[in-house]
Amino acid sequence: MAKIIAVCRSDNKGVPKQDIGEGLFREEYGLENDAHADCCSHRQVSLLAMESIEKMRKLGLDVKPGDFAENLTTEGIALVSLPVGTRVAVGAEVVLEISQIGKECHTGCAIMRQVGKCIMPKEGVFARVVRGGKVRRGDEIGEVRDG
Residue 24 maps to a domain:
yes
Task: Give CA 48 to chain center in angstroms.
Answer: 5
Residue 125 maps to a domain:
yes
Domain count, the chain: 1
What pLDDT, on the 0 to 100 scale, is given for residue 53?
A: 93
Residue 135 maps to a domain:
yes
Neighbour-count burial of 81, counting CB atoms closer than 10 A to its CB (0-12 exposed, 13-18 middle, 19+ buried): exposed
Are 106 and 113 in contact by the 8 Å Cβ rule? The answer is: no
Residue 147 maps to a domain:
no
Which DSSP string corresponds to 115-147? Answer: HS--SHHHH-EEEEEEE-EEEETT-BEEE----
- Which residues make Cβ contacts (< 8 Å) with residue 127, sequence separation at least 6? 43, 44, 45, 46, 47, 88, 96, 97, 98, 99
Q: Which domain holds residue 94?
A: 3-141
Specify the pTM. Answer: 0.91
Q: What angle do CA 69, 72, 77 make, to 5 degrees?
A: 125
Residue 12 maps to a domain:
yes
In the chain, the largest separation of any two C-alpha atoms, in whole Å, equals 47
CATH number of the domain to which 21 belongs: 2.40.33.20
Residue 70 maps to a domain:
yes
What pLDDT, on the 0 to 100 scale, is given for residue 68?
A: 87
Residue 88 maps to a domain:
yes
The tens-digit pLDDT sequence of the chain (147 residues) is 999 999 999 998 878 899 999 999 999 999 999 998 988 889 999 999 999 999 989 988 889 999 888 999 999 999 999 999 999 999 999 999 999 998 766 666 666 666 566 777 788 899 999 999 999 999 999 999 764
Q: Using CA atoms, how far apart are residues 12 and 38, in angstroms rounded to an integer?
A: 13
Residue 146 maps to a domain:
no
